[in-house]
Chains A and B, each alone.
Chain A
Amino acid sequence: MTLTASQAPTTTAAPAVEARNVHVRLGASHILRGVDLRVERGEVVALLGANGSGKSTLVRTLVGVLPASEGDVRLLGSPLRAPRGGRRAGAGQVAWDKIGYVPQRVSAGGGVPSTAEEVVASGLLHAHRLWLPRGWRDVARAALDLVGLADRADHPTHLLSGGQQQRVLIARALVRKPELLVLDEPVAGVDRPSQEAFAATMSSLVAEGLTVLVVLHELGELAPLVTRAVVLRHGRVVHDGAPPRPHGAHDAVGHDHVHPHEPAPTDDHGLADGPFPGREARS
């Protein structure tokens, strides 16, 4: 069962993501300060940067979770916000059924337990579909199969391991057969074999034309797939181009990267400039 979007790119050659001069203010802090980002169809763009550089804020703004205080975002050619006075984020005519989003945190549990299949099936709903389609179980199981959890479909999500829960969330984004996949640190806290499996899944999807924007701490197993890297620092884009080479053995197989959330002692991405390499968790 094929789960990706049709290979043929949409007739309009509009970029998958087009953000212009995006500013985001949350309370008093000015988190994004004029970010421009363009992701063409078929690209795999890694969004890199230290903790607090604004990576998550940027992707959450791009998918409409956070409102941009300034600037424009277009997804698959459609404006994120309604053209005039649309205050609410998420309005507009975006083709939500072609966009898959994997949030950063593992949001396994509400107060009521739910099975992996039920969580994945919720990915079938979008702006234009409030009811589950016929045959949703098969589609949900196929998506779970794609992330290697077919046998866990009936398991309660909150009892799965952290890495498995993360994969459930990835399946939830894939179940609608997206053309654009936006992932926020999909491999944080996931063991290396699972990362390899994830990279293998991604590469087959990318080969079929999936566009990917992925927030990462380090390129890791995804390095061969990444066509371009965008590095954020202090809420601004400081690098946009070839993926930067990581420092030394930091990224090599066998490197024991115990906890990716600790402030790195050196700049992760081999960019030598910047007064506070690797410790920018301020804004």
Chain B
Amino acid sequence: MSTILAELGFMLTDPFMQRALLAALLVGVSAPVVGTYLVQRRLSLLGDGIGHVALTGVALGWLVGAGLGLVPDDVLAVPGAVVTAVVGSVLIEVVRRRGRTSGDLALAIMFYGGIAGGVLLIGLAGGSSGNLMSYLFGSISTVSDTDLVLTVVLCALILLVGLGLRAALFSVSHDEEFAVASGLPAWALNMAVAVVAALTVTVAMRVVGLLLVSALMIVPVAIGQVVTHSFRRTMLVASVVGMTVCLVGLGITYWNDLSPGATIVVLAIGVYVVVALGRPLVARRRPTGDPHPDIPDDVELARTASGVRGGARPNGTDEECVA
């Protein structure tokens, strides 16, 4: 017991580990918040698409950095990724809105264009595709103070938008037509989601790598959906799960020589499997009876008249049941 505590204490006093844990905590909390909106809009793979585009940004930053003679070469890699990811996600949103190309097709083009562009540019910058590995698979153990500041700022921004505008973002993601008919600035809200998703991808890039970014945004939401039926609670559970798997996964790799990103994602998927399999065993069955039985009112209450008859009368007509 004491050795475990001693080991934990050792880990927590390691400055490298402190930075890494803080970054993992922030990313673990914020990525699922944005992921909840993406899942709700049925754009689960958007994060992946942006991740591929961000790779071009990394290489672009590298190319510019090398051109300017900056040391180290990749000092502009993360800013490059931020800018390119934002531009890419805004483009995807614009293409999706105009409806000329399906969102699906736009995503596919982004995927491949992003990877090809990244590999091409890194070659021009005098590097090899090997230099991209740390961005593809994460490099949380080498988080610098500058990285940490950027992570803190971006995560604060993500949480500010993702939580602060939750009701409005829920409305526009749930039923855009109704949101427009309420005068909500649907266009701006959609763009906000796109930009925030891009920022999430770039901050999560450090922790799990671009190839696994989407998993950190989506898998916790999948877990949240299994255990709750409410949007707010799904987001909360996802965020807690995201934070937990990030910290635990990182902790595991402190003692075992494993890839942090892969460990975190495998852990998250493991939690999902356990929860999904375990849910039917422990689920409390909802009471099937109507807690408000349909008793005809004996007083003239115009307002509650609707509650009397229509209360619990199911009438499944075809199309409504698809969801």
Contact = CB atoms under 8 A, between A and B. Distances in A.
A13 interface: no
B282 interface: no
Given A112-B39, A201-B306, A165 B231 contact: no
A127 B180 CA distance: 9
B232 A189 contact: no
Interface stretch (A14-22, A154-162, A209-217, A234-242): A154-162
A162 B318 CA distance: 8
Q: Is the interface of B mostly helix, strand, loop or mixed?
A: helix
A164 B316 CA distance: 9
Interface string B270-311: 000000000000000000001110000000001111111111
B15 interface: no
Interface in A70-127: 88-90, 94, 96, 99, 101, 103, 105-115, 118-119, 121-127
A40 interface: no
B316 A107 contact: no
Contact of A65 (B164, B181, B234, B291): B181
Q: Of residues B178, B187, B316, which shows the largest number of chain A Cβ atoms within 10 Å of its Cβ?
A: B178
Nearest to B182: A126
Given A112-B231, A130-B168, A154-B230, A63 B306 contact: no
A90 B39 contact: no
A197 B315 contact: no
B290 to A, nearest CB: 7
B320 interface: yes
Interface residues of B, number: 57
Nearest to B292: A151
Contacts of B308: 148, 197
Interface residues of A, number: 71
Nearest to A155: B229
Interface in A122-142: 122-128, 130-132
B306 A114 contact: no
Contacts of B182: 96, 99, 101, 123, 125-127
A151 B290 contact: yes
Nearest to B305: A200
A191 B304 CA distance: 18
B42 A197 contact: no
8 contacts: A90-B181, A114-B231, A118-B232, A122-B178, A130-B167, A161-B316, A162-B315, A203-B302
Given A111-B39, A164-B314, 20 more contacts: A63-B181, A96-B183, A103-B177, A108-B323, A112-B40, A112-B221, A112-B234, A113-B228, A114-B170, A118-B170, A127-B182, A127-B185, A131-B167, A148-B309, A151-B291, A161-B314, A161-B320, A162-B316, A163-B310, A193-B313
